[in-house]
């Protein structure tokens, strides 16, 4: 379906708008943009009609932290990346991830590169930048997330990031990465306690980059100063944190306490216990939370046992848990895409569909100035998903990007 010359009417749907859910509503799309969101089923001459058959119609989901999908890793080398060219990331790999995420209802995402050598980061940012020449890819990727390498060296806070490549920020080194990425790094995760962090945050903000605090052991004062200098988000709060922390003085409380800081978290049911999600939600409120998946290359793969580079075995369960084989609670990473987070946050917080959708659409779009998407209203880009909810799970049946159907369960 060609979005440029197509008038589309989606009718008989439960339309998820910021002001509520319109039952038996419709969305009219013209030339890739939303023209009307209304009740009922008005006659639209010449429109291609899509019967939602009572399904929910919502904005396409936005995921700000995607490390890979379906065997493709954006950053890691070795057995984890099984692209056609071996261990090298390719433009075809980026397209594969993009198309895979469409099936998950994700219409916008940030490919995420994590701590690694400068050489690899330069190479893979260049490939990601080249992939943006593909119009279909560019529509779903507004920019990239650099998570590290300017993070804590301390075990636990560092997480799975390789110690050998953790370093303090050097502005010219970062600018090399920024240029390799076609100036499309729009989100960066840093630790506030490292040398030079505050000046680095200010310089990133001068380029319009959103700065997020993550994988750190910052004090309350360091966190405050980082926010004073422009940090606006906390990366997957509650993870990237040591197992044993001081009950009073730890990085979590100050980030929850400062109203200037939005938070993201992984709501897959494995990374954080229900009561922690409940506290985060009650403390920050729906306006200041972004749900992310932080998925790895194991998302989209079938359940089973996989070998990683060091020869260890990891297991992906049917419900999406990714852990070291034979270990209880030994998470290897995330393998559950964003619809799982929407379902789980509704279940544990009773926030309702409207608020869960806001935390995966409106909020990330607002933080990153993606003013053309993330909400169902006239003038916005027609990034839409049609889905049902069965057994507390979102079932994506159709996905549209800029008015073009890019995934349909029937095709």
For the stretch 284-303, pLDDT in tens is 999 999 999 999 999 999 99
The total number of structural domains in the chain stands at 2
Q: Percent of the chain scored above 70 by pLDDT?
A: 95
SS3 272: coil
Asked if residue 77 has pLDDT above 60, the reply is: no
Report whether 254 contacts 234 (CB < 8 A). no
Residues 327 and 394 in one domain: no
Question: pLDDT tens across 333-377, in order?
Answer: 899 999 999 999 999 999 999 999 999 999 999 999 999 999 999
Q: Is 103 found in the same domain as 37?
A: no
Note if the pTM is more than 0.85: yes
- Give residue 315's pLDDT: 92
Which CATH number do you get for residue 112?
3.20.20.140
On whether the CB atoms of residues 400 and 60 are closer than 8 A, the answer is yes
One DSSP character per residue, 275-319 reads HHHHHHHHHH-GGGEEEE--B-TTTTSPSEEEE-TTS-EEEE-TT
DSSP helix/strand/coil, 221: helix
By DSSP bridging, strand 72-73 and strand 7-17 are: unpaired
Rounded distance, CA 252 to CA 242, Å? Answer: 11
Res 97: pLDDT: 98
> Do the Cβ atoms of 210 and 186 come closer than 8 Å?
yes
Element (H, E) at 387: strand 384-390
- Same structural domain, 142 and 53: no
398 and 281: one domain?
no
Report how far residue 110's alpha carbon sits from residue 209's, in angstroms, rounded to the nearest whole number.
13
Q: Strands 106-114 and 61-66, how do they pair?
A: parallel
**Same-domain check for residues 168 and 255:** yes
CB-CB neighbours of 147 under 10 Å: 27
Distances (CA, A) of 80 to 63, 72, 123, 309: 21, 7, 17, 7
The verdict on 232 and 329 lying in the same domain is yes
**Measured distance CA(170)–CA(168) in Å, rounded:** 7
Question: Pick from 406, 376, 362: which is nearest to 27 by CA?
Answer: 376
3-state secondary structure of 212: strand
86 pLDDT band, cuts 50/70/90, is: low
Position with higher pLDDT, 2 vs 242: 242
C-alpha–C-alpha distance, residues 388 and 340, integer Å: 13
Mean pLDDT of all residues belonging to the chain: 94
Are 206 and 312 within one domain? yes
Based on the domain organization, do 158 and 277 belong to the same domain? yes
Distance between CA 281 and CA 52 in Å, rounded?
A: 31
- CB distance 321 to 270 below 8 Å: yes
Q: What is the pLDDT of residue 4?
A: 53
Query: Helix, strand, or coil here: 14?
Result: strand
Domain co-membership, 81 together with 222: yes
pLDDT for 312 equals 83
Q: Is the separation of the CB atoms in 142 and 110 below 8 Å?
A: yes
**Mean pLDDT calculated for residue range 262-281:** 97
Per-residue pLDDT tens over the stretch 250-269 = 999 999 999 999 999 999 99
pLDDT tens digits, 121-169: 999 999 999 999 999 899 999 999 999 999 999 999 999 899 999 999 9
Of 312, 292, 296, 335, the C-alpha closest to 108 is 292
Contacts of 390 (CB under 8 A, 6+ apart): none
* Cα 271 from Cα 215, distance rounded (Å): 15
For the domain that residue 27 is a member of, what is the CATH number? 2.30.40.10
Angle between helices 171-180 and 118-131 (to 10 degrees): 30
Domain hosting residue 144, numbered range: 61-367
Q: Give the pLDDT confidence score for residue 13 in this predicted structure.
A: 98
Shared domain for 354 and 243, answered yes or no, is yes
Looking at the structure, do residues 87 and 203 belong to the same domain, yes or no?
yes
Claim to verify: residue 14 and residue 158 sit in the same structural domain? no
CA separation for the pair 223, 304 (Å, rounded): 40
């Amino acid at each position: 379906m060609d979005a440029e010359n197509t008038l589309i009417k989606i009718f008989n749907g439960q339309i998820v708008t910021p002001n509520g859910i319109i039952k038996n509503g419709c969305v009219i799309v013209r030339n890739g943009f939303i023209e009307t969101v209304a009740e009922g089923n008005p006659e639209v001459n010449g429109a291609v009609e899509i019967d939602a058959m009572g399904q929910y119609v919502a904005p396409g989901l936005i995921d700000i932290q995607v490390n890979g999908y379906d065997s493709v890793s954006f950053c890691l080398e070795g057995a984890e990346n099984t692209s056609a060219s071996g261990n090298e990331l390719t433009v075809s790999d980026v397209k594969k991830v993009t198309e895979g995420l469409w099936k998950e209802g994700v219409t916008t995402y940030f490919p995420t590169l994590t701590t690694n050598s400068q050489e690899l980061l330069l190479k893979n940012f260049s490939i990601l930048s080249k992939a943006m020449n593909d119009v279909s890819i560019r529509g779903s990727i507004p920019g990239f997330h650099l998570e590290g390498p300017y993070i804590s060296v301390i075990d636990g806070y560092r997480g799975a990031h390789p110690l050998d490549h953790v370093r303090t920020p050097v502005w010219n080194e970062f600018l090399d990465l920024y240029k390799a990425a076609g100036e499309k790094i729009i989100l960066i995760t840093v630790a506030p306690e490292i040398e030079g962090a505050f000046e680095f945050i200010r310089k990133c903000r001068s380029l319009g980059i959103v700065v997020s605090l993550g994988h750190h052991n910052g004090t309350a004062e360091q966190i405050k100063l980082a926010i004073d200098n422009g940090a606006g988000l906390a990366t997957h709060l509650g993870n990237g944190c040591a197992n044993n922390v001081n009950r009073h003085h730890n990085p979590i409380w100050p980030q929850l306490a400062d109203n200037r800081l939005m938070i993201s978290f992984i709501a897959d049911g494995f990374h954080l216990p229900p009561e922690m999600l409940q506290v985060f939600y009650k403390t920050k409120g729906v306006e200041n939370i972004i749900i992310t998946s932080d998925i790895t290359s194991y998302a989209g793969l079938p359940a089973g046992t996989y070998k990683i580079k060091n020869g260890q075995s990891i297991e992906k369960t049917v419900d999406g848990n990714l852990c070291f084989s034979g270990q209880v609670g030994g998470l290897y990473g995330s393998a559950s895409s964003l619809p799982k987070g929407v379902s789980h946050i509704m279940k544990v917080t009773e926030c309702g569909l409207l608020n869960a959708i806001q935390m995966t659409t409106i909020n990330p779009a607002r933080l990153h100035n993606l003013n053309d998407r993330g909400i169902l209203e006239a003038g916005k880009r027609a990034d839409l998903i049609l889905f049902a909810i069965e057994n507390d799970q979102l079932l994506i049946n159709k996905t549209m990007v800029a008015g073009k159907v890019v995934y349909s369960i029937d095709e």
